[in-house]
Amino acid sequence: MKKFSLQLAPLGFLLVIILLVFSQFSCKSPTAPSSSLSLTAADVVCTEVWLKLDFADSPTGGNYEITRDGNIVLSGNLSNADTVLVDTTVLPSNSYTYIAYRMQNSKTVEQSSPLHITTLDSTSSSFSWHLYKFGDFNATGMPSMLYGIAAVNDSDIWAVGEIYTSDSVGKYNAIHWDVTKWSLNNIYYNYQGQKFWNPIKWIFANTSNDIWFGNSVHWNGKDFENANIGNSIFFGIGTNALWSNQNGQLYAIGGEGKIAFSPDNGNTWNNIISGTSMGFFDINSNNGNNIYVCGGSYQNYDGILLEGDKNGFHTIADGKSLGNSSQLFNPYFDGVARTVWVCYTGTVFFAGNWLYRYTAGQISFVKSLHGNYWGGNTSGQYWGFLSQIRGLAENQMVLVGERNTIRYFNGIRWTQLGMPYDSNSNYTWLSVGITNDIIVVVGYTINPTNGIIMMLKRQ
């Protein structure tokens, strides 16, 4: 007869058993993806993934868990049919797989299809720089300023404004860069055989052969020609900015809530109802289908952000000069919306008093900018009032403004470029142009008041 005896299992065998038991609680059992549970990427940057979770069959939401590569990274209760969640624990230039789960009594009842994403890599924040000054206030008594910049490419850059000099010409409204130097120019509007000179307040360039100037002039690659930029619509008001695609569709904005659309490269214009009488300052789009316009009032520091197209615009959010945070994003943002830029991903950035982002229907502070939160940046401690934001992607954005604010975002952090930031600086930057290797900013300095350009080259 065989004898049986009780023996202790080897340690390795016990560890295997423990791991198998633990895995039943830490990993999700695979189920077939459900059409009623949707997980999509609202935005993907270097260190953040914005996820939109949608319970299509449940307006009151429910409990959820979201895994990244099999590990739970987000969980909670959804009170509405959808929400936007942010995973802030990702790394640059990495690929991940997300799955969302609907939970009941701590058990999975359905799951979404896998969502595969790759985060952006960061870019270099190392730039050399050179400062150029234009105008001679001491000799002329006239303040020179540069209002706009268009960087078509590294060898074709236009700056516009009003420059007063003591030479025989006396005044200029455009400056051109041709790889080696800046050249002062004048661009005239011709009327009944007479040349009319005016300061140029804005510029927009599609290509080297398609550039629009704010004194109703268009460069066609050969000649500066008179341009009808909604003249009848903006009569007595003037235009403040223009956006165009390469198909000849133009949108122009101005004061008193005016927006105009041209389907045929400026030959005809249609007035578009905006629903507001506020002045508009900036306009941008990433595709020509969704146009974003921002504006406000410097008298009471109200602001506005709109979205629309040739058929009409609607207000996304209103800005108010808020005394406290009780109404912040419920429903207002704080202050004026001076500038707007749309990334190719569809995320909208707009700024003035603060820097905001609009992603998947939600407005929030851009948390990566130091001091960009309610109660932060007291007395301009970190940056001045923000004039313009432009970029190539969310790892190549530039933000400029008062007090020598020139900030570059490489996907992870914001870096002051050029001269150090100084809350007492008399440098104000109004506009920025960016290519892969060059950043150009324009504005003015006071005491004396002269136009300034800073050119920054990636090292």
Q: What does pTM read for this prediction?
A: 0.90
Express each pLDDT in 438-458 by its tens digit: 999 999 999 999 999 999 999
What is the DSSP annotation of 291-325? EEEEEEETTTTEEEEEEEETTEEEEEEEEE--SSG
Express each pLDDT in 326-371 by its tens digit: 999 999 999 999 999 999 999 999 999 999 999 999 999 999 999 9
What is the DSSP annotation of 66-107? EEETTEEEEEEEESSSEEEEEE----TT-EEEEEEEEEETTE
Q: Which fold has domain 35-118?
A: Immunoglobulin-like (2.60.40)
Express each pLDDT in 276-318 by its tens digit: 999 999 999 999 999 999 999 999 999 999 999 999 999 999 9
Mean pLDDT of 233-242: 95
Measured CA to CA, the distance from residue 318 to residue 294 in angstroms comes to 10
Q: Which of 102, 165, 157, 113 is nearest to 139 (CA)?
A: 165
| 3-class secondary structure, 176 | strand
Label the pairing between strands 115-118 and 414-416.
Answer: unpaired
Residue type, 292: Y
Angle at 362 between CA 294 and CA 113, to 5 degrees: 135
* Matching residue, tokens 């790889």: 179
Please say whether the dihedral angle defined by the alpha carbons of residues 163, 166, 171 and 173, taken in this order, is positive or negative.
negative
Measured CA to CA, the distance from residue 183 to residue 154 in angstroms comes to 15
Instruction: Give the per-residue pLDDT at 4.
Output: 36
Name, in order, each residue with C-beta under 8 angstroms of 239's C-beta and a sequence gap of 6 or more.
202, 214, 229, 230, 252, 253, 254
Q: What count of other Cβ atoms lies within 10 Å of the Cβ of residue 288?
A: 15
Domain with CATH 2.60.40.10 in the chain: 35-118
Domain with CATH 2.130.10.10 in the chain: 127-458
**Percentage of the chain with pLDDT > 70?**
92
127-458 sits in which CATH class?
A: mainly beta
DSSP for residue 149: E
Please name the helix (run of DSSP H) or strand (run of DSSP E) that holds residue 17, with its range, or none: helix 11-26
CA distances in angstroms from 287 to 247, 291, 292, 310, listed in the order given: 11, 8, 11, 13
